A and B are shown apart, each in its own frame.
Chain A
């Protein structure tokens, strides 16, 4: 561990709150999104508890509605969207590129402040009595019929959107202009490719949801009729504009995880990744095609049948790059030298859960089946498999993998493995029964439900308690390791990549001298030879 590194280069609250160091900004995000995750988690716990009884165990429907709205808004806009990009992306992009910082460090800090401003609006909405629109803010319910804090919540999401835009802008410019000498596009780690694709979605999609929510606020304030059918407005237009961002936003959540998993699978198989170009281009393909499929959220909304058919076909198309990725990861394991530290367990868990999540996505893209399962628990199960089974598993894997780099210390791997397994088991127990519930026809956002659905709901709640435990354990040992963990050294996993060539934790300017890249990434075959010689 170097004597002076970015963590101890400066002390005091001010040195953190006014920092322009991308690594410290990553910490700011890490702390804030962990806070938001816990809020969303508490809401989820209460929801699951309530669903133990068909008539609702602990809260009234009114409160339940606020719980799922807050769970959705906080988890999506304030945890999942910024999770990997703002924490790992901020920390790693300059390191992986061999750069001293991102292209616009002050803008980077600004985006954290913007994010927190948006977050405080949402927290205000929560404390002042909650909001019960659901995270989708559908009109005219949100504009005309609810008396809760819709404007504060929508305003918070609106503001936080600019944080995404600035982050995405910063990343794209950084990736284009700040690469170390010799680091050509096809020498970039796949995590960078994934972050690049994610940033495209940030840049293109977020402004649309921002203006849409602004219109919603205007509509609610002045009641001018943009989305009010009584005045000639079209509520389905709101859905179009909303999903134009919010479907690609799903890829904002999963693409970075795919990037992380690409890194993990190759590092722990100690083997070059299989089909580098295919994984790289499939990321970009997902980002582009992902913008063409939003209408599959609206098959039964009164959207035109023709539009439904077009969106269905395009949604099918997005399955293919995802499948390509899964096959390539699997093939990477072939003839590898695989070890099972905690990050690898998360990566393998990701592959399994993402496979299920992705395949069930096909049910929803198929018009005739969606007509049955749309907005039922089937959808809930599907997107939790993608977002929790996919995005959060990737996030956890990434945090564990780069933790030695971030903190300079090792965490107890045995505990980490136990936690990974608990999360995997708990997750499946929570969400697999929901597929069945959904096909049986239990609608989402139901505070009370017919009694024949109770057994499956009880199983699901049981799983959720295991899952919750699984998330608490890492919090404890990671916090412990910051102070007491053994020193990691620059490259504890014997991994390749520029971030592992500098000290752990890195110094403020990342590298002693600008690295020069001379070969493709994941040169594990060479590394293996070196190890053998040594």
Chain B
């Protein structure tokens, strides 16, 4: 064989050992019960084999035993309950990215991964991250459903069109690891993969700053803000102002209150009439088809940069 082949995946994130420990537990349970069943079947099969053609059955047959039935109902029940709670614990913890996570944006499209860092650095089918820093991926797709899967980190999540999903991890070992598209997405599905490069913080910093124009995502968003004419309304009071908007509750005309999250901003750009801010007329045209998913992310980054504290109120 041309390659040495591994039997167990690398553990390269904080999550990996936790998942693996649970995996060992399940494997122990599985091996125990498989062995139990196999040995019993084998033992009975040999011991009670029919020796002559019309051999009578052994005496004192048991065909029903309630305590036994209860036992083999309750024991599996306890075991699966342990598995459930153990697994759920890890799952829930992993569902919520830590607040200090570095955000990186991922856009899936047939059949490549487009990744953008907040400082404006972009890469394709590669993801560079620093070691020992929690990373949060905000992901969306430009066409069909994809899935961002890093085996060495034990995480995956579907990447859906017209929606943001998130995934987070904290790499623990410097190195180079596969990531795959794990949701069948058409012809080039199996080619839609790349490498995660986990780097020391210094290397990462060097990589991040090399070859960047100095234009951050937020800067690009600001350019778009002017280019698409957002400023004509949102900068003049005809539409709601952006400063201090992000993360704040917004009151809508139908009486609901929503939080101005990434998803809310995205929806407001692409489907402006879906949620109308209280006190403003529904006059905003849709930008669906005019702005790409990437530009939406840049605009969002710009709005974010205006802060939730109301800093930079003066801009545009």
Contacts and interface: CB of A to CB of B under 8 A. Distances in A.
A/B touching: CB–CB < 8 A: yes
Contact of A441 (B4, B92, B151, B162): B151
B5 A326 contact: no
Contacts of A326: 37
B136 to A, nearest CB: 16
Contact of A525 (B18, B61, B158): B61
Interface residue SS majority, chain B: mixed
A140 interface: yes
Given A65-B187, A323-B76, A443-B181, A525 B57 contact: yes
B41 interface: yes
A447 to B, nearest CB: 5
Interface string B131-174: 00000000000011101010110111110111101000000000
A230 B34 contact: no
B14 interface: no
B73 to A, nearest CB: 6
A138 B158 CA distance: 12
Given A140-B145, A441-B178, A525-B57, A333 B44 contact: yes
Interface stretch (A1-9, A207-215, A336-344, A509-517): A336-344
Contacts of B80: 316-317, 319-320, 362, 365
Which has the most chain B C-beta neighbours within 10 Å: A146, A313, A367?
A367
B69 interface: yes
Contact of A366 (B44, B83, B110, B271): B83
B188 interface: yes
Given A355-B33, A436-B7, A333 B48 contact: yes
B182 interface: yes
B23 interface: yes
Contacts of B178: 441, 450
A450 B81 CA distance: 37
Interface string B18-54: 1100110010011001100110110011001110001
A456 B5 contact: yes
B279 interface: no
A358 B278 CA distance: 54
A330 interface: yes
Contact of B63 (A272, A445, A454): A272
Given A355-B33, A368-B86, A445-B184, A273 B190 contact: no
B211 interface: no
Most buried by B among A299, A366, A458: A366
B98 interface: no
* Size category of the binding interface on chain A: 35 or more
Interface string A226-237: 000110100110
Contacts of B8: 439-440
Interface in A421-460: 436, 439-441, 443-456, 458
Interface string B219-263: 000000000000000000000000000000000000000000000
A136 B158 CA distance: 15
A340 B48 CA distance: 11
A65 B189 contact: yes
Contacts of B145: 138, 140-141, 235, 301
Contacts of B6: 440, 452
22 contacts: A61-B191, A65-B189, A132-B187, A146-B186, A302-B160, A320-B76, A324-B69, A333-B41, A335-B58, A336-B44, A337-B48, A339-B49, A368-B90, A371-B154, A371-B155, A375-B183, A440-B9, A443-B149, A445-B189, A455-B1, A455-B3, A525-B61
Interface of B: 1-9, 18-19, 22-23, 26, 29-30, 33-34, 37-38, 40-41, 44-45, 48-50, 54-58, 60-65, 68-69, 72-73, 76-77, 80-81, 83-84, 86-92, 94-95, 110, 143-145, 147, 149, 151-152, 154-158, 160-163, 165, 178, 180-191, 193, 271, 288
Given A141-B144, A232-B271, A443-B182, 16 more contacts: A136-B184, A140-B143, A270-B50, A274-B62, A274-B65, A302-B165, A312-B84, A312-B87, A334-B44, A335-B61, A337-B58, A339-B50, A439-B8, A445-B190, A447-B190, A451-B2
Interface of A: 61-62, 64-65, 132, 134, 136, 138, 140-141, 144-146, 229-230, 232, 235-236, 269-278, 299-302, 305, 308-309, 312-313, 316-317, 319-320, 323-324, 326-328, 330-331, 333-340, 348, 351-352, 355-356, 359-360, 362-363, 365-372, 374-376, 436, 439-441, 443-456, 458, 524-525, 528-529, 531-532
